[in-house]
Amino acid sequence: MLSRLVPLALILYASCSRGQEDLTAEADRRADAVIDKVVAWRRDIHQHPELSNREFRTAALVAEHLRSLGMEVQTEVGHTGVVGILRGAADSPVVALRADMDALPVTERVDLPFASKARGEYRGAEVGVMHACGHDNHVAILMGTAEVLAGMRDQIPGTVKFIFQPAEEGPPAGEEGGADLMIREGALQNVDAIFGLHVFPYKVGSVAYREGGIMASSDSFRIVVKGRQTHGAVPWGGVDPIVTASQIVLGLQTITSRQLDATLTPSIVTVGKISGGVRSNIIPDEVEMLGTIRTFDAGVREQIHEKLTRTAVSIAEAAGATAEVMIDKGTPVTSNDAQLTRMMVPTLEKVAGAENVSVSPRTTTAEDFAYYQQQVPGLFFFLGVADPEDKSPAPNHSPYFYADERALPVGVRAMSHLALDYLTKE
């Protein structure tokens, strides 16, 4: 009996392998055919950037494209978000692919024929607007992926959900937005796994991934130190909140260097702004401090919050002042599901070439893709967009940030194959 089963198993394996090879070849052929459109979309979106929760033109462009592909399209999800649903040969499993659409309040300094000249309003001021983080590439890549997979819908063993998200950079003051709001409004309904990418100044066409925490959590804090105003020539007549705030800045640095187990995970506590006082010879009543907290572990994140409050309050009390601490819990750790990552690394190597795929170092920047990963297994990876001849490529968020378009075909193929391979393996 066993002798008859073994050849049958080999036949079935060979048949499945040929089927997967056919899907791969078909996806690559369609990706090659759509790349000119992807480049054109990317340049158009780059030239017409929009700030968070104001991505009206971009959302309309995306929705029109998805409808032209025969998808079910949901608009105004999380304000300006767009969700396209491509139903293949089966309703499940369901895989989601995500791209973020918003630009930054940055005036572009790159000399391009399609450079942004856009202006917008940010915190009450008129600002330049630029895709300084590369989200224009993300949108164009996912639009291209949608066209590739829509042409193969009868061969797709499941459903693909395309999530075009607003406000990854954070919603305007007083508004909600981003991944968290899209999830609350149903963007992840029925989804089994999600994939996303981010362009980064690594070698063009390369791919970098990491199991577990790849990008840090990001929390902000505000500390108000209250003393007692006095003449600058008579400091003993009051309580100096400026000196106290200075001591708190130094004390906060001992949280990561002395109060936490340094072997667990990298962590950062940074004070980015101190303001107080009106003139040189008056010690003021109070000082305001603003800062950020970054780490790669949820437990360590909670420890830092507790220790930051205790440290600031205790130092202030020792000086005869008071400290009011407010921590705004922001984006969680972007943490790649270990099992999903291991399952999909061969797909990334197939697309980019094994020699161009590497384990990424952690980065203390943050990404609200993390919210999706709290709900379903997710894999987030970096796509290199830096010319290897450029020895000092500008980082994301710089007015000189530039994404080499030779990375776009790799991005389209990576997202297409991740969806196909995941659904096939499931």
Q: How confident is the model at residue 48, as a pLDDT?
A: 98
In the three-class reduction of DSSP (H, G, I as helix; E, B as strand; rest coil), residue 249 is classed as: helix
Do 349 and 327 share a structural domain? no
pLDDT (average), residues 214-238: 98
How far is it, in rounded angstroms, from Cα 404 to Cα 358? 19
For residue 8, is pLDDT > 90? Answer: no
pLDDT (average), residues 29-47: 98
Residue 7: band (very low, low, confident or very high) from pLDDT cuts 50, 70, 90: low
Say what the pTM is.
0.91
Model confidence pLDDT, tens digit, residues 177-207: 999 999 999 999 999 999 999 999 999 999 9
Residue 4: band (very low, low, confident or very high) from pLDDT cuts 50, 70, 90: low
pLDDT (average), residues 360-387: 97
In this structure, the number of other CB atoms found within 10 A of the CB of residue 293 comes to 26
Do 306 and 266 share a structural domain? yes
Domains: count for the chain:
2
Q: Mention every residue, 6+ apart, whose C-beta is less than 8 A from residue 170.
A: 52, 177, 178
Q: Give percent helix, percent strand, percent coil of the chain, each to the nearest 5.
A: 40, 25, 30
Task: Kindly list the distances between the CA atom of residue 268 and the CA atoms of 54, 102, 158, 364, 399, in Å, as whole numbers in the listed order.
Answer: 32, 26, 42, 8, 25
pLDDT (average), residues 392-421: 98
How far is it, in rounded angstroms, from Cα 426 to Cα 416? 16
How far is it, in rounded angstroms, from Cα 354 to Cα 206? 10
How far is it, in rounded angstroms, from Cα 204 to Cα 94? 30
Q: How confident is the model at residue 1, as a pLDDT?
A: 54
For residue 380, is pLDDT > 60? Answer: yes
Q: How confident is the model at residue 239, as a pLDDT?
A: 98
Q: How confident is the model at residue 268, as a pLDDT?
A: 96
CATH at 229 = 3.30.70.360
Percent of the chain at pLDDT > 70 equals 96
End of a domain among 275, 298, 331?
Answer: 331
Q: How confident is the model at residue 21, as a pLDDT?
A: 82
* DSSP bridge partners of 73: 84
For residue 64, is pLDDT > 70? Answer: yes
What letter does residue 277 receive in the DSSP assignment? -
Tokens linked to 38: 């992807």
pLDDT (average), residues 292-312: 97
Q: Which of 9-13, 280-284, 308-312, 328-332 is least confident?
A: 9-13
pLDDT (average), residues 56-61: 98
Q: For residue 253, what are the domain limits?
A: 217-331
Do 327 and 353 share a structural domain? no
In this structure, the number of other CB atoms found within 10 A of the CB of residue 335 comes to 22
For residue 15, is pLDDT > 80? Answer: no
Antiparallel, parallel or unpaired: β 125-128 and 94-100: unpaired
How far is it, in rounded angstroms, from Cα 336 to Cα 359? 12
Q: How confident is the model at residue 3, as a pLDDT?
A: 55
Assign residue 124 a region (left: φ > 0; alpha: ψ between -120 and 50; beta: otherwise): left
How far is it, in rounded angstroms, from Cα 191 to Cα 375? 9
For residue 5, is pLDDT > 60? Answer: no
Element at 48 (helix H, strand E): none
Do 368 and 324 share a structural domain? no
**Residue environment code for 250-285, b if the CB has 16+ CB neighbours within 10 A, otherwise e:** ebbeebbeebbeeeebebebebeebebbeeeeebbb
Answer yes or no: are the C-beta atoms of 110 and 401 closer than 8 Å.
Answer: yes
Within-domain flag for 199: yes
Do 246 and 177 share a structural domain? no
Do 43 and 164 share a structural domain? yes
Do 350 and 270 share a structural domain? no
Helix ranges (H only) for 285-387 are 298-318, 338-352, 370-375
What letter does residue 405 receive in the DSSP assignment? G
* DSSP bridge partners of 417: none
pLDDT (average), residues 298-308: 96
How far is it, in rounded angstroms, from Cα 257 to Cα 426? 45
For residue 68, is pLDDT > 60? Answer: yes
For residue 278, is pLDDT > 60? Answer: yes
Residue 275: band (very low, low, confident or very high) from pLDDT cuts 50, 70, 90: very high
Model confidence pLDDT, tens digit, residues 103-141: 999 999 999 999 999 999 999 999 999 999 999 999 999
Average pLDDT, the chain: 95
Do 371 and 285 share a structural domain? no
End of a domain among 302, 331, 360?
Answer: 331
End of a domain among 304, 331, 358?
Answer: 331
